[in-house]
């Protein structure tokens, strides 16, 4: 049995980790920190977790909690894990960071997209980028993983087969993505209150959203990424377009079936990727670690269309993190995770 700690367990991704760890046959929760909720029962903040964690209380973080723990999830807001990561790595425990602090390997790129210098640039090379389906070997051989952002997880999984097969031009990628309100986190914000979010759809982070950097990094792209907030609790739908390459056109693979075959072959052995003719929907992935993908070619505009749907709190965050922790700790990566969504 692996002892697991969660730092920052009182947020939505922390709560999802608490749910997943409770159902994991090879993991046991050692501690769950939430400084502003310290002393409060987990079940009082999240009644859905009361049966799984009936007597466990949130604690304040201290380095002593790391003793005897096999792995730690860090689910803190942006910028907060940098100050802790040195002592976490120094303790020898495996770590998966769900925040953005260690996703970009270049400190200059980090400063450009996040507007401030990285306080621990010497640790950036320590982390593997945690998009499991694309970086499994690096993750398996690492003790530290930077979990990807939810939007890049959807966009990169939709587009990676096409980029790596030379089907599309990475410089022509456009990503329009929709996210449920839980992606903004548990603390209330002016645009995420019920009256602001209900019956409203709006784009935000125009031209400059930070997740663009991860799409560019993974795909070698210069992508135009526009996120949208939609009035639902959880889920992401990424609609991606790009221009086909001359070689793809010459090879005659710009048919719907040929493009689906490219994606199907690429993900043939992946337990959490579903490629099909069906148009993906967020409801189909609810509560699961699955991503659903489809691909098309539009002969009228000569664009390739790739769509992906996933649950932003599971495959887009905590489920992916658990998948990575399984690999780091030498467990089968599917342990404790489901590819089956909750419906209706």
The residue from 6, 150, 218, 262 that is catalytic is 150
Q: Are 76 and 27 in contact (CB under 8 A)?
A: no
Most distant CA pair in the chain, distance: 64
Is residue 236 a contact partner of residue 151, using CB atoms and an 8 Å limit? yes
* CA–CA dist 136, 328 (Å, integer): 10
Cα torsion for 282, 283, 288, 294, to the nearest 10°?
-50
Quick one: how far is CA 63 from the chain centroid?
Answer: 26
- The residue behind tokens 């909690």 is 65
Q: Is 195 known to be catalytic?
A: no
Distance CA 299, CA 191 (A): 39
Single out the residue of 124, 128, 138, 144 nearest to residue 82, CA to CA: 124
Question: What is the bridge-based pairing of β-strands 144-146 and 128-129?
Answer: parallel
How far is it, in rounded angstroms, from Cα 35 to Cα 33? Answer: 6
**Contact, 69 vs 88, CB < 8 A?**
no
Best CA proximity match to 238, nearest among 107, 139, 136, 148? 148
107-114 and 212-219 helices cross at what angle (nearest 10)?
150
Query: Active-site residue numbers?
Result: 150
């Amino acid at each position: 049995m692996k002892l697991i700690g969660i730092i920052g367990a009182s947020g939505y991704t922390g709560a999802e980790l608490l749910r997943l760890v409770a159902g994991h046959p090879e993991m046991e929760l050692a501690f769950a920190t939430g400084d502003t909720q310290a002393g409060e029962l987990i079940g009082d903040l999240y009644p859905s977790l009361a049966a799984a964690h009936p007597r466990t209380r949130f604690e304040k973080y201290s380095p002593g909690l790391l003793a005897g723990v096999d792995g730690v999830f860090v689910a803190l807001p942006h910028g907060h894990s940098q100050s802790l990561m040195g002592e976490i790595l120094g303790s020898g425990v495996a770590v998966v960071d769900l925040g953005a602090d260690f996703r970009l390997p270049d400190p200059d790129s980090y400063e450009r997209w996040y507007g401030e210098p990285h306080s621990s640039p010497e640790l950036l090379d320590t982390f593997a980028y945690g998009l499991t389906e694309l970086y499994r070997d690096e993750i398996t051989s690492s003790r530290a993983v930077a979990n990807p952002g939810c939007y890049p997880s959807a966009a990169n999984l939709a587009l990676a087969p096409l980029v790596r097969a030379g089907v599309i031009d990475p410089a022509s990628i456009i990503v329009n993505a929709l996210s449920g309100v839980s992606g903004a986190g548990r603390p209330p914000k002016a645009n995420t209150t019920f009256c602001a979010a209900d019956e409203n759809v709006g784009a935000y982070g125009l031209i400059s959203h930070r997740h663009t950097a991860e799409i560019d990094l993974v795909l070698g792209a210069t992508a135009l990424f526009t996120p949208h907030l939609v009035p639902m609790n959880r889920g992401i739908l990424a609609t991606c377009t790009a221009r086909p390459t001359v070689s793809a056109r010459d090879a005659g693979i710009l048919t719907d079936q040929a493009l689906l075959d490219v994606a199907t072959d690429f993900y043939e052995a992946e337990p959490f990727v579903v490629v099909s003719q069906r148009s993906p929907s967020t409801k189909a992935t609810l509560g699961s670690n699955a991503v659903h993908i489809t691909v098309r070619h539009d002969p009228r505009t000569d664009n390739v269309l790739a769509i992906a749907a996933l649950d932003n709190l599971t495959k887009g965050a905590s489920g992916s993190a658990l998948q990575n922790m399984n690999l780091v700790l030498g467990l089968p990566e599917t342990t404790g995770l489901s590819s089956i969504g909750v419906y209706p």
